[in-house]
Amino acid sequence: MLSQLLLAATDPVPLDAGVELAKSLRKMHVEDVLLPVIIQLAIIVAIARVFSLLFRKFGQSGVVGEIAAGLMLGPSLFGRFYPETWAKIFHPLPHDAAVSGALFETTLHWVFTVLSQIGLILLLFLVGLEFDFQHLKKNGRSALFISLAGLLLPFGLGVGLALWMHPRLGVDPELAAAPPFLGFVLFLGTAMAITALPILGRLMIELNITRTRVGAITITSAAMDDVAGWILLATVSAIVAGNFEVGLTLRMLAGTFAFAAFMLLVARPVLVRFARRVVVDGELTLNGLAATLLFVFACSLATNLIGIFAIFGAFLYGAVLSTEHEYREAVIKRLRDIVTVFFLPIFFTYTGLRTDVQTVATAELWLMCGLVLAAAIVGKLAGCGLAAWASGFTPRESACIGIMMNTRGLMELIVINVGYQLGVIPKSVFCMLVLMALVTTVMTTPILLRLMRGTELEPWIQQSIFLKGEGVWLNKPGAGTPVVTAETVAAK
């Protein structure tokens, strides 16, 4: 893709284009590229942090604030009302007139794309480390039923909606063609089926409900959804990356499952011994950190060579070591802050910068946007809520489970960015799905606070940091909140 973009920015004749491209790249001074990169990074990190803190004060996830920061900095707001200033910052011209403006902009685009992908690799490694597979062993039957309903119904609605949308989208200006039919249908279905476990987990911690029966069932269902979502995304990516060729796609799928089996059955015992040796007095040694990064990049390289995205390898490496608690905590101490403050804002804000609400320019496109949002919400609420009700939960508890499972956030953004990079999601649909991820994440907390009344969640949430604004969790004996143990949860 990069070579195609670079060639498109120069002479259309292939041989001459290659010669001119080489000359232009040699003329480009590193400081000329570094200056706009530093300016953009400074603005992105600062604005993303401000919006993250602001949205937290309103009871929302910091991720929502960072996406909103990107939308504000992007063509939808800043670029629309202050186009000249916006262009100078995010679409600067090269200092050397001999360097193509298109080539310079493409270079900057790939600098930020690579930075955001490195951030995603590190983030998915941390997500894998924090994944609790114990959730998959407890509360199994009800959680499996809820998880399946919450996957199948939204996926089916997404596929049905995609079949209706595809012929109406027409030619995508960036692709100079209509989005590929099968890839578009599969990715829209996958986007509808996702639940964001990391965002949901943080939300449940803030609300103090992780130890309740409803909370345990929900997080277990979300964990199963997360596993199924990664498998589904890897499968769909392999199908699309294989250009829908059955033989190539099967080889990519076989390579993916073979690598996963190797990591779980062969590499895991070795990696566990490594993880236990590199933590000294609760701290990860420098050599241990270096080796950890090498393993993360090696696993990312493996899945990249297989033909699927590098992030899958990083997630898998983290997942196989998720039981090593001391190692997990030591790694998180070393990596979480830089990933949270630097890399994640680049990914979330850059996603917002690529989202142009003006691409949803017609009444029909806004109708599609509304249907995308409706299908996403109804699929999760109806699928998970009805499954929970059939499993013995009260109507209010079932609605609470449904609304929590409707949280999209991070995982949704990863899916749509993968689809966008593969060229199967046009820019207008990319915008629709970003808005859907925002709305479904923003709506979770306020609706849950209304639905909790009269359920087992109410006393726990009333004693949470979220409502009391205190610096300690009030879920201890004597704090006014009933203690729910694994035994009492199982008894219920």
User: Which structural domain range is residue 29 located in?
Assistant: 2-114
**168 and 238 within one domain:** yes
Q: Which of 91, 114, 137 is the last residue of a domain?
A: 114
Q: What is the pLDDT of residue 487?
A: 36
Residue in the block written with tokens 């186009």? 83
The CATH number of whichever domain residue 152 belongs to comes to 1.20.1530.20
Cα pseudo-dihedral 28, 34, 37, 42, rounded to 10: -160
Q: What is the pLDDT of residue 279?
A: 92
Which residues of the chain are modeled with pLDDT < 70? 1-27, 61, 96-99, 131-139, 171-177, 197-198, 201-202, 205, 210, 242-246, 248-249, 465-492
Secondary structure class of 284 (helix, strand, coil): strand
**176 and 104 within one domain:** no
**339 and 236 within one domain:** yes
Closest Cα to residue 198, out of 401, 61, 323, 313? 61
Q: What is the pLDDT of residue 465?
A: 62
Give the span between the Cα atoms of 460 and 9, in whole angstroms. 58
Closest Cα to residue 149, out of 388, 410, 440, 377? 388
Q: Which of 114, 141, 169 is the last residue of a domain?
A: 114
Q: Give me 302's structure tokens.
A: 């493996």
Phi, psi of 172, deg, nearest 5: -85, 125
**229 and 283 within one domain:** yes
**57 and 154 within one domain:** no
Q: Model confidence over 94-143: pLDDT tens digits?
A: 776 666 777 777 888 888 888 888 988 888 788 778 766 665 566 677 88
Give the span between the Cα atoms of 262 and 9, in whole angstroms. 43
Q: What is the pLDDT of residue 370?
A: 94
The pTM of the full predicted model, rounded to 2 decimals, is 0.70
Number of domains in the chain: 2
**239 and 336 within one domain:** yes
**94 and 187 within one domain:** no
Beta bridge partners of 279: 284
**222 and 186 within one domain:** yes
Centroid of chain to Cα 34: 28
**151 and 238 within one domain:** yes
Those residues whose C-beta lies under 8 Å from the C-beta of residue 64, and which sit 6 or more positions away, are 55, 409, 438, 441, 442
**210 and 127 within one domain:** yes
Q: Give me 412's structure tokens.
A: 């949704």
Residue in the block written with tokens 């998915």? 124
Q: What is the pLDDT of residue 109?
A: 81
Q: What is the pLDDT of residue 471?
A: 36
Q: Which of 75, 96, 114 is the last residue of a domain?
A: 114
Q: What is the pLDDT of residue 244?
A: 60
Contact 394, 154 (CB under 8 A): no
Q: What is the pLDDT of residue 372?
A: 94
**439 and 322 within one domain:** yes
Phi, psi of 69, deg, nearest 5: -60, -40
**46 and 174 within one domain:** no
- Rg of the Cα trace of the chain? 23
Contact 110, 350 (CB under 8 A): no
Those residues whose C-beta lies under 8 Å from the C-beta of residue 162, and which sit 6 or more positions away, are 184, 185, 188, 189
Greatest C-alpha distance within the chain: 78
Closest Cα to residue 48, out of 441, 349, 413? 349
Q: How far is CA 424 from each of CA 230, 318, 377, 435, rounded to the nearest angstrom?
A: 18, 29, 23, 18
